[in-house]
Amino acid sequence: MSGFWPLVALTTLGSIAGLIGGIAFLYIKSWTAFLNRYSIPFAAGVFLTVALLGVLPEALELASPDVLLTTLLAFLAAYVLEVFVVDVHHHDDPGHNHLHKSSAKLVVVGDTIHNLLDGVAISAAYLANPGLGVVTALSTFFHEVPHEIGDFGILLKAGWQKKHIIWVNLVSACATFLGAILIFVFNPSELLQGHLLGATAGIFLYLCAVDFLPQTQKNTNKKESIVALLLGVLVMFVVISLTPHH
């Protein structure tokens, strides 16, 4: 069980700690505008850097170049998942003052699946290289902050009480631990670890291309967005550079 508790700590960083964005949305409105303005472009820079300079090189080292096909398939799978399972966000437009309870529940289901995959990604990265596990957990945290703001907002509009929203999302976040523990217990071969990392890179790139970068372009202050994006790139480049490799 060596390395189990450090993995639990990293999983906590990537899941429970990410709820700070949603809680800030519910109780500290002044934080919400700041987080929405800067965390999304910052997260875009983080995910691009981690995917291309951290996760993908490690995947190629553990597996053959065929891992790039896994990256492509994961990118496409993320798109299909968002379209058919988690695409409730697009129904939440200003013209609708009410969000159906079934749609709100679907948001929770989609978020739980998303958290499970986060746990798989963190654990696979950690088993391949503990330093890469730290990098992946950090990137997951930076992603979860703006993501939870969106989810909390949808559930609040659906008429859910604040305490109920927090407890449901706390339980949903526990799926991250389930994903991490499953990978840790089964301890996949290096080849499978490589393909899991390839899939992680594909999902990270999808989030950048479809979620973060388009939202960054909508920011009225383009200079602030670019600075935040470049800062995310710089921070994770430094972290990856200082991370021990095999």
pLDDT, one tens digit per residue, over 36-80 is 778 889 989 999 999 999 999 999 999 888 999 999 999 999 888
Residue 16 has φ and ψ, to the nearest 5°, of -60, -45
Chain segment 86-116, per-residue pLDDT in tens: 554 444 444 444 445 556 777 788 789 889 9
Global model pTM greater than 0.85: no
Q: Which of 9, 39, 5, 3 is nearest to 21 (CA)?
A: 39
